[in-house]
Amino acid sequence: MEIDRHDSRTRNQLRPLACSRNILNRAHGSARWSQGDTIVMAAVYGPKAGIRKNENPEKACIEVIWKPRTDQVGKAEKEYEMILKRTLQSICVLTINPNTTTTVILQVVNDDGSVLPCAINASCAALVDAGIPLKHLAVAICCALAGSGSVILDPTKLEEQKMEAFTYLVFPNSVLSVLPEGSLHVDGEPMEHAIITSVTHGVISVDDYLYCLERGHAASAKISDFLRRSLQS
């Protein structure tokens, strides 16, 4: 069933992706990621010596600072910081540099829908640019549920407000393996079918959510390819 999207994309079509790294010369790593009109810049400083209070000194610590476009930091920004911190902690190898702090600073340049996935993708690229040891990359996508169980990918701000629900999903990136068996399997399920992070807004049925997971996973393969090509250049 065709849904009319106001920018005439199909349901499964993502907005044009663009990623540029090493754009700030003082930061140890930096990246600018844009999905259509949503643009987020990430800068990574670290690892620096010392650790914040109440953090585990046997592991590296990640600190996230989120700067919105209009410069009023509120509860939403604190929530984004916490989600990002825990997502990035799960992809970094924290035992390599214990008792250090790596700071990731995100600046929202423009918010036109799915800003959190854009920020996660930007911070991944920035961490790679800074050379922070990572287990794998994280690829983030936003799926919105239009009525009657159909899912559209990568909604704009207008679409997010109109849809009855949307979810932000973060997957580990797909593995390109030289071995013919392909990706890493855990219990017969490939690792990239699992979610690292999920944040939902709005009420949906459980079956619709599981359908969103499938579609989101399919889209994450495309973003993984784009990320791989962009990092190789």
Partner 1 sequence: MGSSGASGNLEGEMEVDAFRRLFPLRFHERHLLESIRPDARPLERARESTVALGAVASADGSAMAKIGHTTMLAAIKMEVMTPSSESPDEGCVAIDFHMPPICSPFVRPGRPAEVAPVIAKQLSDAITSSGMINLKELSLTTGKAAWMAYLDVYCLDADGALFDAALLSAVAAFSHLQIPAVSINEDGRVVTMSREDGDGKLANDPVIKERRKLTLNCILFSLTCILHKKYILADPTAEEESVMETHVTVVLDSSSRLVSLYKPGGPVLAYASAVQDCIALTRHRVKELQKILNEAISDMEVD
Q: How many residues bind partner 1 (CB under 8 A)?
A: 40
Distance, CA of 150 to CA of 82 (rounded, Å) = 30
Smallest separation, CB 209 to partner 1 (Å): 5
Rounded to 5°, angle at Cα 87 from 95 and 135: 45
Residue 14 Cβ vs partner 1, minimum distance, rounded to whole Å: 22
User: Which of 18, 76 has the CB closer to partner 1?
Assistant: 76
- Paired strand residues for 151: 145
CA–CA gap between residue 109 and residue 2 (Å, rounded): 32
Determine, following the binding rule CB under 8 A, whether residue 85 of this chain makes contact with partner 1.
yes
- Would strands 38-49 and 17-21 be described as parallel, antiparallel, or unpaired? unpaired
CA of 150: how far to CAs of 11, 57, 62, 206, in Å? 8, 46, 37, 14
Asked if 87 and 128 touch (Cβ cutoff 8 Å), the reply is no
Binding residue for partner 1, selected from 7, 57, 76, 229, defined by CB under 8 A: 76
35 binds partner 1 (CB under 8 A): no
Work out which of 195, 221, 222, 226 binds partner 1, going by CB under 8 A: 195
Q: How far is CA 36 from CA 63, 71, 213, in A?
A: 28, 22, 22
Instruction: With contacts defined by CB under 8 A, name the span among 23-31, 41-49, 88-96, 123-131 that binds partner 1.
Output: 88-96
Are 66 and 77 spatial neighbours (Cβ–Cβ below 8 Å)?
yes
Binding to partner 1 by residue 72, rule CB under 8 A? no
Which of residues 38 and 87 has its CB atom nearest to partner 1 in the complex?
Answer: 87
Does 170 help bind partner 1 (rule: CB under 8 A)? Answer: yes
Q: Which of 1, 49, 178, 203 binds partner 1 (CB under 8 A)?
A: 203
**Tokens in use for 25?**
């010369």
**Closest Cα partner for 128 from 230, 17, 25?**
230
Q: Which two tokens stand for residue 12?
A: 């499964």
Is residue 139 close enough to count as binding partner 1 by CB under 8 A?
no
**Which one of 15-23, 40-48, 79-87, 103-111 is the stretch in contact with partner 1 (CB under 8 A)?**
79-87
CB of 227 to partner 1, least distance (A): 18
Assess 7 for contact with partner 1 (CB under 8 A): no
* 20 near partner 1 (CB under 8 A): no
Residues binding partner 1 (CB under 8 A): 53-54, 74-76, 78-79, 82-90, 165, 167, 170, 172, 187, 189, 191, 193-206, 209-210, 213
